[in-house]
Amino acid sequence: MADTPDPVFQIQRVYLKDLSLEQPNSPAILLEQEQPTVDIQLGVDAQPVADGIYEITVSATVQTKVQDRTVFLVEAKQAGIFEIRNLPEDQMGPILGIACPQIVYPYLRGNVADVIQRGGFPPVHLAEINFQAMYEQQQAAAAGQPSPIVTQ
């Protein structure tokens, strides 16, 4: 029986990689009485850094507008460095696309809400994300198959 090394999954660090807040139409837009529309875009990226070391970045763009004028725009990237070794290759995709983003995302949510509030606005709380469903949709799209229907 061959000695198989134990699997390793460790968080090395979680950090704020990038954060910006823009209010291009202030102060005039702050006097508007109309409710702004909110558009939120999320993304996940995984990059190898070294042998068995990966950087996972979860990004969010939050833009609010009144008619066609921007009230504020927040762009944020929260990242984590993970040591992942001795896992079967078929488990790496779900680990990098589901498990790691689930660890990093709460930090992103907090930072986005905080910077919006510090900008003088009520905080925008990003919704919980089903990273498994998101990963499965990406896999289906990459394979050219119709995406499964996802309910949250």
CATH of the domain at 114: 3.10.420.10
Q: Count how many domains the chain has.
A: 1
134-149 tens-digit pLDDT:
999 888 888 876 655 5
pLDDT band, very low/low/confident/very high, at 152 (cuts 50, 70, 90): very low
48-76 tens-digit pLDDT:
999 999 999 999 999 999 999 999 999 99
DSSP lists the bridge partners of residue 22 as 73
Residue 35 lies in a domain: yes
Rounded distance, CA 152 to CA 123, Å? 22
Give the domain range for residue 23. Answer: 19-46+56-77+86-142
Residue 1 lies in a domain: no
138 token code pair = 């990406």
Residue 68 lies in a domain: yes
pLDDT at 4: 78
Which is nearest to 92 in space by CA: 62, 126, 56, 117? 56
